[in-house]
Amino acid sequence: MEIKEHTPHLRRDENREGMEALAKSLRLGFLWIYILVIAMIIIVAAQSFVIVKQHEKAVIFRFGDVRKITGTGLHLTFPYPIEQTEIYEVTRTRQLDSSSFMFKPGAPDEAVPPVLKPGVDGYVLSADMNILHLKCTMTYLVDPQSDQAILDYFVFNLDTSETLRKIFDNAIIKAAANLKTDEILVNPEKLRTKIASELRSGLEKSTAKILFETRDISIIVSPPRQTKAAFDLLTQASQNQETLANDAESYKISSEREAQSAKDSIIAEAQSEGQRKIFAAKAESETFSQRVKQYEKNPELVARTIYEDSIFRIMNGVEEKFLIENSNKQQLRLLLGRNPELRSKPAGEK
């Protein structure tokens, strides 16, 4: 009887424990679901924000198509696979080499071939129809302000195609064709400037947008190996000519400066002498005017003074004096020099 009385209570306890276990399992399951949902939300949020640094550009794709290009800052996007973001460093410089116009180097012990090999040895023609070899390297930067340039270079891989290389090669051909051989060999800077000008002109006609300076183009110029000795002589002669021309120009400038200095000195001396004579004439004029005034006041005294001054000057210039006595008279005879200019010169001077 006791077993029958306690059986319902045992069943109720077992059911309650089962319900509690089920509730606990459900709570744990929902907790994991919440954690997964929160983690997915965090992952989606992390994928929805893009940070673009100052030297970078971001291209946002939506289902594989370009939606927009963004610059520096924090940007909100849809998560993958709806949208995808690619970040490119746009401030990195790139190099483009052009070896299309250089001869093919041979082995160190290989003899120089007597002629150029078409299709193997590249070359350009100068304005005076001479053959030259050129190797050029350009350092450039993709224009960060041009969205089309960013798409061409980083998305559509234009820099790996032959488009820019062809523009560069055409610029080299045109620049060399407008300059003479001695200008190219002796003055490579002139060729570099011409290549840069032709390259800018070619880029304006294309969709390629790059930034570069004239100094960013390096050039290696070489005459044909078959005629290098003759070209070396020509280069040496041109350098000697330029040296002589520079020396002549320097001598001309120094001679002009010396002549100008001598001219200025002579003019200064003439002006000084002119001023001195003017002052002397003015002084003599003032002295004469004073004597005239004195003469008008006392003519006899002035005449006597002039007479005595004249006698004093004459006596000082006399070389010898003779006093001759007669019976009732005395004569003073003066021996004057035949050449008065000799008396004005210092003693011992001829």
Tokens of 193: 């400037």
Q: For the chain, list residues with pLDDT below 70.
A: 1-14, 44-47, 49, 76, 106-110, 158-161, 319, 321-323, 327, 332, 334-350
Which are the contacts of 69, defined by CB distance < 8 A and separation ≥ 6?
A: 57, 58, 59, 60, 147, 150, 151
Model pLDDT, residue 350: 46
- Which candidate, 114, 126, 125, 52, places its Cα nearest to that of 89? 52
- Give the integer Cα–Cα distance in Å for 123 and 102: 6
Please name each of the domains of the chain with its CATH number: 20-87 (no CATH), 94-103+119-223 (3.30.479.30)
Tokens of 54: 């100052």
Model pLDDT, residue 184: 87
Taking the mean position of all CA atoms in its chain, how far away is CA 311? 83
Digit-coded pLDDT (tens) for 269-286: 999 988 988 988 888 888
CA distances from 244 to 184, 210, 238, 254 (A): 20, 42, 10, 15
Angle, CA of 342, 345 and 347, to the nearest 5°:
100
